[in-house]
Amino acid sequence: SILGSLPNLGESSLRISGQGQRVEDGAIVWTAGGELALPFTLSNVPHLVLSFNLPLSYQDSLNVPSNSPNYYAPRQTLSAQGSLALRGDFDVAPGFAIHQTLRGAAGYYGEQILTTDIPPRWVHADSQIFNLEGRSEFSTELYTIYMDISGSAKNQMAPQVINLNYWSFAVELGIQFRAPTFLVP
């Protein structure tokens, strides 16, 4: 039905991972994370899928020397993002299809999130992250013409200051050809 259905658990995924490493100076750098992906089939003809994705990671380091190490030593770093994606596949004519995808995401990145002994305005390096992406494809049996449009922004949060520190915008146009098969039955 067009109103949706329960997630197709056969296509859903939950991934959990962790990693630790002892560095030559005795420091221990570790990370733990996970990702949940839930697709909802809204319609079979045309094929419409709404997907929810939630990646989450936490990184920290122990026994890091007070002098600056020559490697990345995370300090209670949390990264979380939620995204919604809508994909539509439309068969227009035999051998010709249109595929549309739109994805929006918002997230958070913060350092020293568990530290409370120093005033937060000197401790936290918090950022809000925003992404918007779109893709259009026009496919035939021999080629696919596509256009990707993407934009992202990172908002560094500081006490009483909200700034758009980093941003990007890109447009990509392309064509992909399919190689013919020369297999003889």
Residue 119 has pLDDT above 60, yes or no: no
Task: Give the Cα separation of 83 and 108 in Å (integer).
Answer: 12
Q: Which pLDDT score is estimated for 154?
A: 84
- 59 vs 160, residue with greater confidence: 59
Q: What is the rounded average pLDDT of the residues 89-113?
A: 92
Which tokens sit at 50? 């709404």
Q: Which pLDDT score is estimated for 84?
A: 96
Residue 139 has pLDDT above 60, yes or no: yes
Q: What is the rounded average pLDDT of the residues 38-63?
A: 91
Q: What is the rounded average pLDDT of the residues 110-119?
A: 70
Q: Which pLDDT score is estimated for 132?
A: 95
- 118 vs 83, residue with greater confidence: 83
Residue 108 has pLDDT above 50, yes or no: yes
pTM, two decimal places: 0.73
Contacts for 1-7: CB closer than 8 Å, 24+ residues apart: 1/43, 2/42, 2/43, 3/42, 4/40, 4/41, 4/42, 4/50, 5/40, 5/41, 5/42, 6/40, 7/38, 7/39, 7/40
Given pLDDT bands bounded at 50, 70 and 90, which one contains residue 81? very high
Residue 118 has pLDDT above 60, yes or no: no
User: Which segments of the chain does DSSP mark as H helices, in order?
Assistant: 120-123
Determine the Cα angle at 91 with ends 90 and 97, to 5°.
85
Residue 126 has pLDDT above 60, yes or no: yes
Q: What is the rounded average pLDDT of the residues 32-61?
A: 92
Residue-averaged pLDDT of the chain: 84
Q: Which pLDDT score is estimated for 3?
A: 43
Q: Which pLDDT score is estimated for 30?
A: 94
